[in-house]
Structure 1
């Protein structure tokens, strides 16, 4: 069901964007890990004590003094949510909606290739890039920690945390890809595809801000990604990951069906 020529072309068109996001993630991981101090506490922890409301808004509130909790708080409450999400938004639009908007989809569909194959192949390009980005962050975190603080990182928990991030980002990618398949106009695809996860993230930040808005977290899918619970091995957090992954499969499947049956006017 995959067209390898189209897949290779999609990967070639995505590697520069992947390098940019990888470079940003590298910078943040290197700086944050270097600030961990297992003996005295980090400067970030001191800042969190001074401005707890601000740090709570972006989820930067470590549950314990362990290195994995430190990284979860300062990297997986904002950085590893926002930057992969931006990749999903840009990639989804580039792979489907922009081709339709510019008319270049005509050339893709003029070959003896089914629409389902085109949509599935473009989805595969996006998922490959997202998987590569999260895998890179996982390996980068492990290597950085083992160099700076040998034996301090619980690698099993850290890998599970990144699997959770991948499930969340696949769900976000499914939303973006579905919007890209629904709308023929690139600006609407980006507007709605970016608007839904961005609004969800803002609601999550509001919920983190204080008790008065705490229940707002149930209005967004971000609450299914319980990073503290994943590290603690809570069953509810694990089930949240499963729900996100199942939702991603459903969204991508729906997107392929929509694209296969829509009137493209090309």
Structure 2
């Protein structure tokens, strides 16, 4: 791994990372604070008013416990979409961004192999996602314990966040593969953004039930089931395994494609 390049990426990404983390923290604190009987009644009324809309974003079941409440209002939309925005921007910047602005020629001209360069970028992407989700997980636990001591099932909550990391690991692998194989930055952004967003919209339509319910099984989001993860259901193990396998295959293929491809610099 190229530690000079790794350090450079850390400094170059700190602003984007801080913005995404700040928005996540603000929303998380607000959601934890909202866990009280008065607000729960208001949210139930809102759900009854717009049942299909709330179901589309995974917010149809408020639940009776703190972890169920957090699962409903954090893991149906916010913790799926905001990290996705971060991954798309970072994955495209790490490879295709350098190719597009001509900087990749300077990187390849250094005494570093293509493998070392692309492996460093892949490692940085995964590490960034892990740190982002670990920070939000720790913050949620701290604020939950401050406001509602001993209310949060920490073991189940950690299991839920492990599942979330594996989901984003798989999606980031796809985004990185697109960045390594696309012909230009516009194409890379189109595919790395379009496919995950399309999958999320299909998942949202499936959550609305009816004839659309089966649609959700055709997306990667169907492998992330908060209820099964919190209950530590045995089926959640193979789901996590599938997500890990998808992510590993995408990253391995991305590295191979970058090492072998012709770069017109």
TM range, smaller chain: over 0.9
Matches within 5 A, 1:32-181: 32-37=31-36, 41-62=40-61, 64-181=63-180
Q: How far 1:40 sits from its partner (Å)?
A: 7.9
CA contact (8 A) 2:40 2:62 kept: no
Report the 3-state secondary structure (helix = DSSP H, G, I; strand = E; otherwise coil) of the residue aligned with 1:41.
Answer: helix
> Distance between the aligned counterparts of 1:45 and 1:156, measured in 2?
27
Alignment match, 2:17: 18
Of 253-262 and 31-40, deviating more is: 31-40
Which residue does 1:218 correspond to in 2? 217
The whole-number CA distance in structure 1 between the counterparts of 2:148 and 2:37 is 9
Unpaired segments ≥5 residues, structure 2: none
Tell me how far apart the structure 1 counterparts of residues 178 and 153 of structure 2 sit (CA, whole Å): 38
The structural deviation recorded for 1:54 is 1.0
Q: Point out where structure 1 has 5 or more consecutive residues left out of the alignment.
A: none
- Partner residue, 1:255: 254
CA drift of 1:63 comes to 6.3
Give the corresponding residue for 2:186: 187
Q: CA deviation at 1:229?
A: 1.0
| Runs of 4+ displaced beyond 3 Å | 38-42
What is the Cα deviation at residue 239 of structure 1? Answer: 1.6
TM-superposition CA deviations, 1:69-120 (whole Å, max 9, x none): 1000100010000001111100001100011011110000001111011000
Distance 2:85 2:255 in 1: 21
Structure-2 separation of matches of 1:40 and 1:101: 49
**Length, aligned pairs only:** 265
- Encode CA deviations 1:112-138: one digit per residue, 9 max, x unaligned: 111011000001111111111100110
Q: Match for residue 264 of structure 1?
A: 263
